[in-house]
Amino acid sequence: MEEYEVQFLERAVQLSKEGSSQGLGMPFGAVIAKDNKIIAETANLSFVNCDPTAHAEVSAIRQACSALKSRDLTGCDLYTSCYPCAMCMAAIYWASISRVYYAAPKVSFSERWDRLEASLIPELNKPDSEKSIPVIHVPALAQEAQLVAEEWFVRR
C-alpha cells in the first residue's frame, strides 16, 4: 500500500473512534478518495440521524456523490474501518466504487447481529410469501407503475 492509502485508512479508524465516542452512531468510519485526495469522510451517523441506513460507508457515498455531482463513483476508492456489511457492500456496487480497503475483518457484535447478517441474503432470495417481513404485491397499480419506470429508462 502507498503511504497515502495507509493515511486514508487511519483516518477511517479515527472517524470510527470519534463518532462512537460522540454518540453519533456505531463504531465505524469511512473515507472516499479520488485522485489521491479525500472527497468524503464520515463516521457512522445512524444514532444522530435516527437513520438505520446511515452507516459510515453509505454516508460517505452520499457525500462523495454530492461533492462530485454524480451517482457514479468510478475512480474512487473507499477506505473503511471494518469490512462493510451487506447493505454497505451493495451500495458500494451501486455507486461503482473502484476499490475497497478495510482495516478490521467482519466484526462480531452479538449473536443476534451475526444471525441477522448471515440470514440476510437467504431471506432476500425467498419468495415474497415466505419473507419474515410481509412484502405484498398490489397488481391493480402494477401496469401504471411499470409504465412510469419504462418511460423513464427510455428517455435516459
Q: Are strands 76-82 and 99-104 parallel, antiparallel or unpaired?
A: parallel
What is the arrangement of strands in the sheet containing 29-34, beginning at the earlier edge strand?
Answer: 37-43, 29-34, 76-82, 99-104
Q: Are strands 37-43 and 76-82 parallel, antiparallel or unpaired?
A: unpaired
| Strand partners of residue 33 | 38, 77
Which of 2, 57, 117, 151 is catalytic? The answer is 57
Whether 2 is catalytic is no
Q: Which residues are catalytic?
A: 57
